[in-house]
Chain A
């Protein structure tokens, strides 16, 4: 039945092929350009470290709006590919057969429904994994430069658009489209539910409420003072979850000046008066930042930051991919039940 499946789905292959070609045409040249520009700047900075650009975190590169747009647009694009596949390939896959009655035709040929479904799902899922795998590989390669410059591949859309996750998303989106198609027997309904579920899960719930808890975050505590807490977070693409100032009662402080204890309020006022009078700056306390920080430290204030360290990046990729693959397996199982156990 391979010819038949190819005939039914060749248009999808063609469209995805064209998308892939367009994507490659965009990703390869820009990726090479970014990488070369970056290497060039590194060499230049090695020769002339005094250049003010070299002290900038991004070496003063890629500040144009086009570059910034590309840096953000391409990762977002790949994030939407799974849902596009889910809506335009997954949802109609079975729904259209039900809607046009062709399921009655194909299920009464001399091939069992089970085999028909198995071959169809295998084809579609393997093709999805391969196609999106290529997209994801391209994106991961392309992201090398922005990752290095921004050090944020652990964050938001940059996390979701690289590594193995796009493949897991796509498998989930396509199988849930297929399942809802078999369930509701209507393409539009299936597509709508698939879209809603994917947005709710992959774009809202998981990144905000689930992902931070895959592993217990690392917590660092520091005294009050500029950069005191940042200096305790190791360098690299960490995922910073929170950074707060805690008062003597263990509560998170929103506004330092209004909630500071009485003895520190004086210093604050003094500083404010001092600065408004002009020139009469608050005296620095040796070893403890300025006098406000010293006062706050004395009062029992401190800073707390929680983060997922950069070395957990692949663990997080694996855990999240595992979740979506488990959901994929569930959707496939439900599809089998719907197709085999339910009346046509």
Chain B
């Protein structure tokens, strides 16, 4: 699979503060990638760098084979939903559709119109007066009607109630199922991401902590439980991500590279993706693990 997004040592600095530093990610074509990390980890910054709304301070960045630029050809292939889903509040859904036609060379107005109708969104009411869920659907329809190759979503479901969230994610899954679309979506709601994504990027403190297929991630991580042991050297191919200790027992969330042997004195358990993500998110400044 080809990488739609590839960054190398990507960095973004605001004054003396590095919001993103040495960020290496790779997102394969056709994947739905979950971008997770604590507040201030640099998720929004990364997404804005990818769509060219911000420019990088250091490192390399390649999106759809190009460096992000303020150019119609580049932007035409990308759908982007900013945080808080900004729309023109006094314009109605139909007018947003017309805007899409106005501002894009390639825009499937019919698709958007049908989609809004199917979702029973009031077409002639200013979007400022729609519910949060309806607004999110209008924004998603607008982004999808561009027929983008890459869709970048910055916490699209954060403000939505559970039902609206469910509807939004269903719409998204359906669009992905139609094919030809790669999605990167940031969120705090791990359970939701797990439902729709097959790839994961964990950012913490401006650095990539994890970037891989969810399947691989699940396969390569084990919870090891054994007698108390403070040193973290377990052997070749084993990296401890997170450890908890009681007086007599150590619990280690460990990355086990394919083929590596786990010492027989450890009990092995399968962690779920949420446990793994939380372990990486807590890792913070302890260095990049890939």
Which residues on A are within 8 Å of B, measured CB to CB? 1-4, 7-8, 100-102, 104-116, 340, 343-344
Q: How far is the CB of B278 from chain A (nearest CB, A)?
A: 30
Nearest residue, chain A, Cβ from B83: A101
Q: Write out, one digit per residue, whether chain B residues 123-144 have a CB within 8 A of any chain A CB (1) or not (0).
A: 0000000000000000100000
Q: Is B86 an interface residue (CB 8 A)?
A: yes
Interface string of B220-235 (1 = CB under 8 A from A): 0000000000000000
A102: chain B residues within 8 A (beta carbon):
86-88
Q: List A contacts of B100 (CB < 8 A).
A: 109
Q: Which residues of chain B have C-beta atoms less than 8 A from A2's C-beta? A: 102
Q: How far is the CB of B246 from chain A (nearest CB, A)?
A: 48
- Complex: A343 Cα to B86 Cα, angstroms: 17
Whether the Cβ atoms of A105 and B106 lie closer than 8 Å is no
A104/B53 in contact, CB under 8 A: yes
Taking CB atoms, residues of chain B closer than 8 Å to A112 are: 70-72, 75
Chain B residues within CB distance 8 Å of chain A: 48, 51-55, 70-73, 75-76, 78-80, 82-84, 86-89, 91, 95, 98-100, 102-107, 139, 146
Nearest B residue to A108 via CB reads B80
Q: In the assembly, what is the distance between CA of A104 and CA of B99, in Å? A: 14
Known: A104-B80, A112-B71, A343-B48. A4 touches B98 (CB 8 A): yes
Residues of A with C-beta under 8 A to B75? 107-112
> In the complex, what residues of B have CB within 8 A of residue A110's CB?
72-73, 75-76, 103-107, 146
Quick one: which of B55, B73, B89, B102 contacts A100, CB cutoff 8 A? B89
- A residues less than 8 Å from B70 (CB atoms): 107, 112-114, 340
CB-based contact B103/A101 at 8 Å: no
| In contact, B86 and A101 (Cβ under 8 angstroms) | yes
Taking a contact as CB atoms under 8 Å apart, the answer to whether A106 and B103 are in contact is: yes
Contact pick for A343, options B53, B84, B106, B146, CB 8 Å: B53
Given A107-B70, A108-B78, A344-B48, 20 new contacts (CB under 8 A): A1-B102, A1-B103, A4-B102, A4-B103, A101-B82, A101-B83, A101-B86, A102-B88, A104-B80, A105-B139, A107-B75, A108-B75, A109-B103, A109-B146, A110-B104, A112-B70, A112-B71, A114-B70, A116-B103, A340-B70
User: DSSP majority for the B interface?
Assistant: loop
Q: CA–CA, A344 to B52, complex, Å?
A: 9
Q: Is the contact region of chain A dominated by helix, strand, or loop, or is it mixed?
A: helix
Residues of B within 8 A of A113 (CB): 70
Q: Are A105 and B53 in contact (CB under 8 A)?
A: no
Q: Are B104 and A111 in contact (CB under 8 A)?
A: yes
Q: Give B69's nearest chain A residue, CB to CB.
A: A112
Chain A proximity of B84: nearest CB distance (Å): 6
8 contacts between A and B (CB under 8 A): A105-B86, A105-B139, A107-B70, A108-B78, A109-B104, A111-B103, A112-B70, A344-B53
* Cα distance, A155 to B53, chains bound together (Å): 50
How many Å lie between the Cα of A113 and that of B52 in the bound state?
A: 11
CB closest chain-A residue, reference B70: A113
Give CA–CA (A1, B54) in the complex, Å.
24
Bound complex: CA A343 to CA B83 (Å): 16
| Identity of the chain B residue whose Cβ is nearest the Cβ of A114 in the assembled complex | B70
Which A residues lie within 8 Å of B83 (CB)?
101
Report B95 CB to chain A, min CB distance, Å: 6
> In the complex, are the beta carbons of B82 and A105 less than 8 A apart?
yes
- Pairwise interchain contact A115-B72, C-beta atoms closer than 8 A: yes
A292 to chain B, nearest CB (A): 74
> Which residues of the other chain, B, contact A111 by a CB distance below 8 angstroms?
72, 75, 103-104
Minimum CB distance partner of B88 in chain A: A102
* Most chain A CB atoms below 10 A, which of B78, B82, B84, B106: B82
A344 to B51, CA, bound (A): 11
Residues of A within 8 A of B89 (CB): 100
Separation of A110 and B105 alpha carbons in the complex (Å): 7
Which B residues are CB-close (under 8 A) to A105? 82, 86-88, 139
Q: Determine the chain B residues whose CB is within 8 A of the CB of A343 once the complex forms.
A: 48, 53-55
Q: How far is the CB of A44 from chain B (nearest CB, A)?
A: 59
* A106 CA / B91 CA spacing, docked (Å): 13
In the complex, residue of chain A having the shortest beta-carbon distance to the beta carbon of B100: A109
Q: Which residues of A contact B51 (CB under 8 A)?
A: 108
A4→B99 contact, CB < 8 A? yes
Per CB-CB distance, the 7 closest pairs between chain A and chain B, nearest first, are A110-B76, A101-B86, A109-B103, A110-B104, A344-B53, A104-B82, A343-B54
**Nearest B residue (CB) for A340:** B70
- Whole-angstrom CA separation of A110 from B104 in the bound complex: 4
B103 touches A7 (CB 8 A): no
For residue A107, which residue of chain B has the nearest CB?
B53
Partner of B86 from A1, A7, A104, A340 at Cβ < 8 Å: A104
A110, A114, A115 pick with most chain B CB within 10 angstroms: A110
Find chain B residues with CB under 8 A from A108 CB.
51-53, 75, 78-80, 82
A129 to B175, CA, bound (A): 47
Nearest chain A residue, comparing its CB with the CB of B51: A108
How far is B103's CA from A8's CA once the two chains are assembled, in angstroms?
13
- Chain A residues whose C-beta falls within 8 Å of the C-beta of B104 in the assembled complex: 109-111
Closest residue of chain A to B154 (Cβ to Cβ) is A104
Chain A residues within 8 Å of B55, by CB: 343
B169 CB, nearest partner CB in chain A, Å: 21
In the bound assembly, the distance between CA atoms of A161 and B164 in angstroms comes to: 57
- Residue of A whose beta carbon sits closest to that of B103: A109
